[in-house]
Amino acid sequence: MENVLYLVIPCYNEEEVLPETSARLREKINELIGKKKIDARSRVIFVNDGSKDRTWELIEELHQKDKIFGGINLSRNRGHQNALLAGLMTVKDHADMVISMDADLQDDINAINEMVDKYLDGTDIVYGVRSNRQKDTFFKKITAEGFYKLMNGMGANTVFNHADYRLMSKRALEGLAQYGEVNLFLRGIVPMIGYSTDVVYYERGERFAGESKYPLGKMLSFAVEGVTSLSTRPIRMITGLGFFIFLISIGMLIYSLVRHFTGETIVGWTTLMVSVWAIGGLILLSLGVVGEYIGKIYLETKARPRFIIEQFLNDENE
């Protein structure tokens, strides 16, 4: 096997974009095969993440018409990250390099050429990085950039402006396979694998059909997920805060004693109310954060399967 490239595309209710996406990707793969950069057994694999529309039927049709297309049908909707992992783990035994990307082709597929070139030069992981976000709405841009800042500030180190558009070599995928975590945040785990890495810049376009499956709410929970499954910095911050409050309380103790002995004690209703609320709030916040981690431990100890594959359509013959 030599330089076999597999593209992995998670799809959730993508019937509107699949015809166009598949046509463009076929063209791209054939171009690369023509240039002898990749093997003729390279494939495009769509992962159907429990779509409610005709996505899987479309994938089956594509597979029947052209063996360049394959499909993985998950037993139900498991979310983008799990769908992507299911795809990567399934194809890693068939490919030498795998590129993951979204079905809506917001990520410029011409960056694939450069990614493959870097792979051929010996790079194991090539990150696709957005050079600008002019096409995104102002709101999406601000929230998305805030997302990366928040993530890094909280100790979850990720590549800035990189989503899940990346090339990984077979051995990098073997590395990824050893991370058994259920709370999956791929773009945080991939940098932990190591090996040689590089980036490719591209311009992010608009979704050409259908609407975003990642509204603000999902993005926020994704950020919380990312932080709590990658780092324990929030716990440390709480410890720091607790220590700081403790110092203040010692100061207050001395202050009250001094006031008491100089006979200036006043009825401290205000102080009392304020402290009760402040401490109460802090305790609740801390409990929430601790609970967040306990929830994670609970899920990890159960070691539930991260995805279940109902069907894998793939034709490996040349």
Q: Is 147 in the site for ligand UDP (CB under 6 A)?
A: no
**Binders in 42-61 for ligand UDP, by CB under 6 A:** 49
Rounded Cα gap, residues 59 and 63, in angstroms: 6
Per DSSP, 233 falls in state H
Q: Is 14 in the site for ligand UDP (CB under 6 A)?
A: yes
Give how far the C-alpha of residue 168 lies from the chain's centroid of Cα atoms, to the nearest Å: 15
Among 71, 79, 188, 226, binds ligand UDP (CB under 6 A): 79
Q: Among residues 201 and 222, whose Cβ is nearest to ligand UDP?
A: 222
What phi-psi label fits residue 116: left (phi over 0), alpha (psi between -120 and 50 degrees) or beta? alpha
Identify the CA nearest to 292 among candidates 227, 206, 201. 227
User: 3-class DSSP state for residue 24?
Assistant: helix
Is the Cβ–Cβ distance between 231 and 156 less than 8 Å?
A: yes
Q: Is 214 in the site for ligand UDP (CB under 6 A)?
A: yes
Among 38, 88, 97, 103, binds ligand UDP (CB under 6 A): 103
Is the Cβ–Cβ distance between 306 and 181 less than 8 Å?
A: no
Q: Is 16 in the site for ligand UDP (CB under 6 A)?
A: no
Rounded Cα gap, residues 211 and 53, in angstroms: 14
Q: Which does 160 bind (CB under 5 to 8 A by kind): Mg ion, ligand UDP, none?
A: none
Which residue stretch of 33-41, 173-181, 207-215, 281-289 sits at the interface with ligand UDP (rule: CB under 6 A)?
Answer: 207-215
Which residue stretch of 98-106, 154-162, 176-184, 273-281 sits at the interface with ligand UDP (rule: CB under 6 A)?
Answer: 98-106
Q: Which does 103 bind (CB under 5 to 8 A by kind): Mg ion, ligand UDP, none?
A: ligand UDP
Q: Which amino acid is at 117?
A: D
Among 15, 60, 96, 104, binds ligand UDP (CB under 6 A): 104
Q: Is 108 in the site for ligand UDP (CB under 6 A)?
A: no
Residue 264, classified by CB atoms within 10 Å of its CB into exposed (0-12), middle (13-18) or buried (19+), is: exposed
Give least dist CB 107 to Mg ion, A.
Answer: 8
User: 3-class DSSP state for residue 66?
Assistant: coil
Q: Is 11 in the site for ligand UDP (CB under 6 A)?
A: yes
Q: How many helices (H) and strands (E) does the chain have?
A: 10, 8
Q: Among residues 206 and 316, whose Cβ is nearest to ligand UDP?
A: 206
Rounded Cα gap, residues 113 and 31, in angstroms: 10
Give least dist CB 78 to ligand UDP, A.
Answer: 7
Q: In 154-212, which ranges are continuous DSSP H helix?
A: 170-177, 186-193
Q: Is 202 in the site for ligand UDP (CB under 6 A)?
A: no
Residues that bind Mg ion (CB under 5 A): 102, 104, 106, 207
Which residue stretch of 35-43, 100-108, 264-272, 277-285 sits at the interface with ligand UDP (rule: CB under 6 A)?
Answer: 100-108
Would you tell me which residues interact with ligand UDP (CB under 6 A)? 10-12, 14, 49, 77, 79-80, 83, 102-104, 106, 207, 212-214
